[in-house]
Amino acid sequence: MEWYRLDCVQIDAAGFPAFMEEVRNEWLIKGWEQKVKPFILGSMQGPTPINDWICLIESTNILVINAPFQLTNAKIHNHIDSHLHPDTMELVHDNDLHLITQLLEYTACP
């Protein structure tokens, strides 16, 4: 957090996508981004609370913002809808909740 405090004006002025690009270039090993998409697409809700699982997907996908490996919201919605825990899936469909229409409407990621 200290690195942000020391340069917060410049970081804020550049915007989040520029900030993420700098983080990727400075601190991550070459080829790391190729592991993000398979990680997301291989994930399943399992016993994890749905909001925690969706936050993990979102926070992982944001690492590759504006990169070729970033998943669109439509692809994330499809993945979530098809990888819900069976109990959650049954509850969603039995109650006609249609949770996967607008990702940000039903998540509250910190």
Q: How far apart are CA 88 and CA 77, in angstroms?
A: 15
Domain ranges of the chain: 1-30, 34-110
Angle at 27 between CA 24 and CA 33, to 5 degrees: 40
Return the pLDDT at 92: 72
Confidence of residue 47 (pLDDT cuts 50, 70, 90): very high
Query: What is the mean pLDDT of the segment spanning 95-99?
Result: 58
DSSP 32-65: GGGGHHHHHHT---TTS-HHHHHHHHHHHHGGGT
Return the pLDDT at 105: 56
